[in-house]
């Protein structure tokens, strides 16, 4: 069983740039959620994708956007990067749109540093 894989593992950007982070979900999972984890804090929910549509969003501005592809992989895009966007971005996959959707399998994350 293949777990959740994320790329890149680390990246450095400058303020105002744009970034794309990628995620391959665990085999058999059809739902992807993205979380932001700032240093010393717990993860914060950004949004979830199911059947290629955004299906729930946390308190993040529109410059945070995403995609889900037919193979259930996903991208997180952040435009106009700000210093506060520096964080570990975690992708999590799960199955369905019921209680099972909350049983999240996390990837190791993409560490973004904005200078």
Partner 1 sequence: AQSVTQPDIHITVSEGASLELRCNYSYGATPYLFWYVQSPGQGLQLLLKYFSGDTLVQGIKGFEAEFKRSQSSFNLRKPSVHWSDAAEYFCAVGGPTDSWGKLQFGAGTQVVVTP
Q: Which residues bind partner 1 (CB under 8 A)?
A: 4, 31, 33, 40-45, 48, 50, 55-58, 90, 92, 94, 96-99, 101-109
Beta strand 44-50 with 105-106: parallel, antiparallel or unpaired?
A: unpaired
User: In whole angstroms, how far apart are CA 109 and each of 83, 96, 97?
Assistant: 18, 22, 23
Work out how close the CB of 56 gets to partner 1 at its nearest, in angstroms, rounded to a whole number. 2
Residue among 47 and 81 whose Cβ is closer to partner 1: 47
Beta strand 53-57 with 44-50: parallel, antiparallel or unpaired?
A: antiparallel
CA distance linking residue 24 with residue 5, whole number of Å: 5
Work out how close the CB of 80 gets to partner 1 at its nearest, in angstroms, rounded to a whole number. 25
CA distance linking residue 36 with residue 111, whole number of Å: 10
Which residues pair with residue 23 across a beta bridge?
Answer: 6, 74
Work out how close the CB of 72 gets to partner 1 at its nearest, in angstroms, rounded to a whole number. 13
Residue among 16 and 28 whose Cβ is closer to partner 1: 28
Work out how close the CB of 16 gets to partner 1 at its nearest, in angstroms, rounded to a whole number. 28
């Amino acid at each position: 069983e293949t777990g959740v894989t994320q790329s890149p593992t680390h990246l450095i950007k400058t303020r105002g740039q744009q970034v794309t982070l990628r995620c391959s979900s665990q085999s058999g999972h059809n739902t992807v959620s993205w979380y932001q984890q700032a240093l010393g804090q717990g993860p914060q929910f950004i949004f979830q994708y199911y059947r290629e549509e955004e299906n729930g969003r946390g308190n993040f501005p529109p410059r945070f956007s995403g995609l889900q592809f037919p193979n259930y992989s996903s991208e997180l895009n952040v435009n106009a990067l700000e210093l506060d966007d520096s964080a570990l971005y975690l992708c999590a996959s799960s199955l369905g749109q019921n209680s099972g959707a909350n049983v999240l399998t996390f990837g190791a994350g993409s560490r973004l540093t904005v200078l």
